[in-house]
Amino acid sequence: MLVARVIGVQRTGLRVAPGVDEPFSHVTIGGRWFQDEVQTRPTVGDWVLVDRQTRALEAVLERSSLIKRLAPGGTGELQLIAANIDTAFIVMSCNLDFNLARVERYLSVILDAEIRPVVVLTKADLADDVDDFVDQVRSLGGDLIVEAVDARSSDDVACLAVWCDARQTVALLGSSGVGKSTLVNTLAGDQVQITSDVRGDDDKGRHTTTDRTLHLLPQGGVILDSPGMRELQVADVESGVESAFSDIDELATQCRFNDCGHHSEPGCTVQAAITDGTLNERRLRSYFKLQREEMHNTETVDERHARSRQFAKTVKQHTASKKR
């Protein structure tokens, strides 16, 4: 067996980092991998065992972390984004793309996977008051790391090098046009990703990155660039939502009633914090929204898994009966 790392997922199989003695980079995926639940399938960043003779995937090794979301399209299925990530850069630009609720959404997914989050604000050179953008993000959590950079400047992005050392894997998450690919190119010191300008009328980006891919950095680490996600529906990340809104959870422990809904109940410390200005009402609305979405989507995923397991059981019973 050969231990390899997945650097790309294609319809025909996997792309793995070629070794010195094993120069091949394509691995075949057997049909059995599509019969099991989505979370057991390989994704970018996975370490896998490959048969040296057949070049077929034999096993996915245990993961240290997994980033996932509900797949777009209403299928009720999870979509794997990346595995074995140490640090996630939440990339957002200092323009019309800036959105605190989106940061909270990314934080819920990242913290649930027990990955270190770093918010990277790009296009800082174009902002009239970049400190205001930084302060708004830091209001989401006092210990949240925030860096404002010009993604084209190697001097600016040098502050991110500490998370790109050897044996470290970094993932870039964010919308199209925020400068993720530019950031990768600057950190890599080479044109490894295609870039393009945003639309001038609304600061929306164009999809220049079409696949999730891993790149080796001069510092020895590995960085993952991914297509801009216009939709990040959360599912199966209850602990992540609680961690992203730990300030509200802490206030909730002091409410008069254990089942307080934090609306108009007497003795609600959450509402009291909004009244005295220590908690932003927007943040509470965002918390409620993500809670409802996470609960609904997780139930949808669980129902789909139950149907899939029942179908697989029926097929197995039918096959056994036919053999008899």
Query: Which pLDDT score, from 0 to 100, does residue 197 have?
Result: 53
Cα distance between the two ends of the chain: 36
Query: Which pLDDT score, from 0 to 100, does residue 107 have?
Result: 96
| CATH class as words, domain 68-225 | alpha beta
pLDDT tens per residue, range 254-263: 999 999 999 9
Distance between CA 108 and CA 235 in Å, rounded?
10
pLDDT tens per residue, range 236-255: 899 999 999 999 999 999 99
β-pair type (213-216, 222-225): antiparallel
Residue among 259, 232, 243 nearest 105 (CA): 232
Residue among 196, 170, 167, 197 nearest 184 (CA): 170
- CATH among 2.40.50.140, 2.130.10.10, 1.10.420.10, 3.40.50.300 for 2-62: 2.40.50.140
Q: How many CB atoms lie within 10 A of CB 252?
A: 17
Contact between 89 and 120 (Cβ < 8 Å): yes
pLDDT tens per residue, range 148-186: 999 999 999 999 999 999 989 999 999 888 989 899 999
| 304 has pLDDT over 80 | no
pLDDT higher at 6 or 321? 6
Query: Which pLDDT score, from 0 to 100, does residue 72 have?
Result: 77
Distance between CA 2 and CA 202 in Å, rounded?
48
Distance between CA 5 and CA 45 in Å, rounded?
6
Q: What is the mean pLDDT of the chain?
A: 86
- The tokens for 168 are 């470290």
Contact between 70 and 234 (Cβ < 8 Å): yes
Distance between CA 78 and CA 59 in Å, rounded?
20
Per-residue confidence band for 199, with pLDDT thresholds at 50, 70 and 90: very low
Query: Which pLDDT score, from 0 to 100, does residue 121 have?
Result: 96
% of the chain residues with pLDDT over 90: 58
DSSP 61-115: PPPS-EEEEEPTTS---EEEEEES-SEEEEEEESSTT--HHHHHHHHHHHHHTT-
Query: Which pLDDT score, from 0 to 100, does residue 306 have?
Result: 65
Where in the chain does DSSP place strands (E)? Answer: 2-10, 13-16, 26-27, 47-50, 57-60, 66-70, 78-83, 87-93, 116-122, 145-148, 169-174, 213-216, 222-225
pLDDT tens per residue, range 6-65: 998 888 889 998 776 777 688 988 888 887 788 899 999 999 999 988 999 999 999 999
In this structure, the chain runs to a length of: 324
Hey, CA dihedral for 286, 84, 171, 231, is it positive or negative?
Answer: negative
pLDDT higher at 267 or 318? 267
- The tokens for 123 are 């296009």
Q: Can you give the residue ranges of every domain in the chain?
A: 2-62, 68-225, 238-320
Architecture, CATH, for domain 238-320: Orthogonal Bundle (1.10)
